[in-house]
Amino acid sequence: MYYIDSKQMHTTEIPPEVKIYFPFPSVRAGQDIAINSIYKALKEERHIVIAAPNGFGKTVTVLSAVLPLIKDSDEDLRIIYLCRTHVESQHVIAELTKIIKHLRNSGFSTNLGGISLRGRNSMCFHPQVLDQDPMTAQLLCRELRNLERCSYETNLKKNPGALKNLLDKLTSHAVDASELLEICRNWGFCPYQVSKLVLNRMNIIVCNYQWLFSPYIRDYFLESLDTTLDHVILIIDEAHNAPEVATELASDQLTYFAVQQLIKEAESLDIPPVVDFGEHLLTTMDELKDKITDEMPISPQLTCRKVFQNFEMPAFSEQLIKLGENWQKMQLNQGKNPRSFLFSVGTFWMNWFQKMNSKGYFFCASKYSTRGGAESVKLEIVSLDPKEILAPLLSKVYSSIHFSGTIEPIHYYTDIIGLPESTIELSLPSPFPKENVLAVNLKGISTQGEKRNAETYKKYIKYCREAVEAIPKNVGIFTASFEVLDGLSKNGISNELKSTGKELFFEQKDMSSNENERMIAKFKSCTQGKGGILLGVCGGRNAEGEDFPGDLMNGAIICGVPFAKPTPRIKALIDYYGGSQKGKDYAYNMPAFRRANQAAGRPIRTVTDRAVIVLLDYRFTLPNYRKFLSAWFREQIIMLSDEPGALTAAIRKFWK
C-alpha cells in the first residue's frame, strides 16, 4: 500500500487540463492534493482509498479529477458512481451539472452526460408494480410488457419521434432520477425503460451499490450500458458501508412465516411431499426455537441432513425452484401477485447446500419479532467475508476510488475488501477550523457491562444535563444502544432534561420513517425558541442519516462506546479473521467507533459550523481505541476529570 498523509504533502499545482473541470475559483485545503492523487491513480490504473471528512467537497473533487480522463481516453471509459441514498445521488448530479455549466461558460464544448438511477419498483408508474419487491416487480413488468398491458411501455412504441427527441434532449446533460420521473410523467412514458434506453449514451451513471455489487444485477446492468468492467471507473461514496452491503448481499435467511406460506402454496397445488417437507421443516424450527435465547450457531451439515432426511439434496431444492417458477407463471396469468415461497425456500436451501462447507459463512438459528409482535424463529446463512462479492468486481474494473469520512484506519478497509498492494491510501486534512470544535472526554465513566447500574445512569444523566444547559440551542444525545437509552429513561433522564426548558424528542425503536421525519422537523424548528434535545441511539437513523448544520445541533453527546453485543455471529467473525487483535478490530472495534464517529459528526457539516462533542466513556481514548476516532476531532480531545462543574466550565468557555 502507498499511504499518503496529507500533512506531509505540499500543495501541488493541478495540471491545466484537469483544472478546467473544477467549477470554483479556488480549491479548499487538500482538494488539490486529492485531485492530483486521483488523477495520477487513474492514469496508472490503480485503486485509491481516501479518508476525507464531510464538508471537504468530495463529490466535486472526485468528479473534477475523473472527468478529464473520460475525455482524453480512447477506451470509452464509463464512470459508475455508487451512493447509498437518493439524496446523495441528487448531490452528485447537482455537482455534475455545475461542472458541465462551468465548462460551457468557459467556452469548452462538451458532450458529458450523466444520469442517476433507481430500482424498477421506484421508476415505474404501473400501480400493480409500484412498491413490489424487486423480483416481483421484475416478473410483473415482464409479463405486462409481453401482454402489451402497460400503456407507459406501449406509448414508447407509439411515439418513436417523441421518444427520440426526449433521448436526444437527455443526452449531454446531468439528469436526476426525480427529474426523469417528472418528464416521463408528462409524456406518459415508462421512466425505467427510458433510463435503460439512454444509459449507453451517458458517461456517468449514479446508482445504488446493488447495481454493481449484486452479481445477478451486474451483468444485466453492464449489458444495458453496453460496456464491460474493465472499462469502468468505479467510485464508491461513503465507502465504509461497502463491506457490510457486500456481506448482506451474500447472506440469506428463511423465516418460519416463509415455510408456512410454502405449505399453503403446496396445498393449493396439491403436492403432498412438499407439504410433508414444509411440516417437517417447521418441526425442526420449533425445536430450535425452544433451545435458543437470541441466536445459536448450528452445524450446516447436520441441519441439512436433518431437514432433508426424507428428501434428496440438491434435487429436491431444484424441484422446489421449478415448482415456484410454475407458480409464478400461473399467478401472472391470473393477474395475481407472482411472489412464490416454493421458489424462495428452494433458493434458500440451494444456497445453504452450496455454502455449507465454506469457511466464509456462519450458520445459525435466531429469534425475531413478527410485525404483530409475536416471537418467531428463522434460519440464517451469514456471510463473513465481503471479499467474496467485492474481490471479483474490484479486480476487473479499470480503477476504483473509495471515499469516506469514517474509514480510518484506511489499511483495515483496503485489507478487508481485498484491494491489491498497489492501492493508494490518502488521508486528507480536516477543512474545519480547529477552533470551531471542542471535543471533551470524561474520565471515570463508562457503560461497560458490569457498570450498567442506577448509579452509573444517574451520573450520565447529570453530565447530559450539564452539557445541555451549557450548549446553546439544539443538542443531540446518542446512546451506545437502546439498552442504555432504556436505562437512562428508567432513571429519569426525560424529567431531568425537560427541566432545562428545552423541548425533548425521544427516538423510539419502532417509529415509522414518517413519524421520525415529523419529529426531526419539529426538533430542527426548536432553534427558534430555547432549543431542543434529540435523544437517540448511535447507529440509528438520526445518528447517521441526518445532517444538523448551524444551530440545528450545537453539540453531540455520546453516551458509551456503541459496541455490538458479542453475539455468536460476532465471535464467528473474529474467529474467521484468526481470532487475533486484527479480527477483533474488524469485527467489533471498528464498527463500534464508526457508529460513534458518525454520531459525533452530525453537528459539523460545513466549514462554518461550531460544535461541542462530549464523549461520555473513558474507553474512547484508551490507547487501543483512540486510533479509531475520526482524525478531525481526535487530535484535540481534552480530558476532563470528574470534578463538579468542569464540563460546564469547558463548554461555556468555548461558547463565550
Residues contributing to the site for ligand SF4 (CB under 6 A): 120, 124-126, 129, 141, 144-145, 150, 152-153, 190, 192-193
With CA atoms as reference, report the closest residue to 243 among 64, 50, 387.
387
In which residue are the cell numbers 462506546 written? 561
Q: Are strands 375-383 and 204-208 parallel, antiparallel or unpaired?
A: unpaired
User: Quick one: CA torsion of 569, 575, 580, 586, rounded to 10 degrees?
Assistant: -40
Axis-axis angle for helices 242-250, 410-417 (nearest 10): 20
Tell me the closest approach of the beta carbon of residue 324 to ligand SF4, in angstroms.
22
Q: What are phi and psi of 623, to 5 degrees?
A: -50, -35
* 87 versus 147: smaller Cβ distance to ligand SF4: 147
Of 132 and 347, nearer to ligand SF4 (C-beta) is 132
We find the least distance from the C-beta atom of residue 335 to ligand SF4, in angstroms, to be 13
In the bound state with ligand SF4, the residue whose beta carbon lies nearer, of 170 and 587, is 170
Phi, psi of 122 (to 5 degrees): -110, 10
Q: How far is the CB of 456 from ligand SF4 (least distance, A)?
A: 54
Query: Cβ closer to ligand SF4: 210 or 636?
Result: 210
Could you tell me the smallest distance in angstroms from the CB atom of residue 115 to ligand SF4? 16
Give the bridge partners for 375, in sequence order: 369
Closer residue to ligand SF4 (CB): 144 or 199: 144
For the beta sheet containing 295-297, the strands, ordered from the edge strand earlier in sequence to the opposite edge, are 252-255, 375-383, 361-369, 295-297
- Cα–chain center distance at 587: 17
Identify each DSSP E strand in 542-600 by its residue range.
555-559
Nearer to ligand SF4, 130 or 650 (CB): 130
Query: Measured from the CB of residue 337, what is the shortest distance to ligand SF4 in angstroms?
Result: 14
Least Å distance, CB 145 to ligand SF4, is: 5
What is each CA distance from 163 to 176, 177, 257, in whole angstroms?
Answer: 18, 17, 45
Q: Cβ contacts of residue 10 below 8 Å, gap of 6+?
A: none
CB 130 to ligand SF4: min, Å: 8
Kindly state the smallest distance separating residue 258's Cβ from ligand SF4, in Å. Answer: 26
Round to whole Å and give the CA distance between 407 and 243.
Answer: 11
Grid cell for residue 11: 500543495
47's CB contacts (< 8 A; 6+ apart) are 41, 394, 399, 400, 401, 402, 414, 419, 420, 422, 423, 424
Q: Quote the least distance from Cβ 327 to ligand SF4, whole Å.
A: 20
Tell me which residue has cell 460513534. 596
Choice between 56 and 189, CB closer to ligand SF4 = 189
Grid coordinates of 225: 450500458
Q: Closest Cα partner for 55 from 548, 568, 528, 489?
A: 548
Does residue 472 contact residue 656 with C-beta atoms inside 8 Å?
A: no
Smallest gap from residue 573 Cβ to ligand SF4 (A): 39
Q: One-letter amino acid identity for 468?
A: V
Rounded CA gap, 552 and 474, in Å?
Answer: 6
Helix spans in 106-214 (H): 134-146, 151-158, 160-170, 177-187, 191-199, 210-213
State the minimum distance, in angstroms, from the CB of residue 192 to ligand SF4. 4
Is the distance from CB of 64 to CB of 189 less than 8 angstroms?
no
Q: Which is nearer to ligand SF4, 175 or 488 (CB)?
A: 175
CA angle 503, 509, 510 (to 5 degrees): 105
- Minimal distance in Å, beta carbon 362 to ligand SF4? 37
Considering the complex, what minimum distance in angstroms separates the CB of residue 163 from ligand SF4? Answer: 13
- Whether the Cβ atoms of residue 381 and residue 351 lie closer than 8 Å to each other: yes
Amino acid at residue number 21: Y
Return the number of the residue (96 or 144) whose C-beta is nearest ligand SF4: 144
Q: Dig out the grid coordinates for 609 from the structure.
A: 459550523
Question: Nearer to ligand SF4 by C-beta: 66 or 190?
Answer: 190
As a whole number of angstroms, the distance between CA 527 and CA 525 comes to 5
Q: Which residue lies nearer to ligand SF4 by CB, 49 or 124?
A: 124
473: helix, coil or strand? coil
Name which of 118 and 594 has its Cβ closer to ligand SF4: 118
Residue 115 vs 234, nearer CB to ligand SF4:
115
Kind plus residue range of the DSSP H or E element containing 472:
none
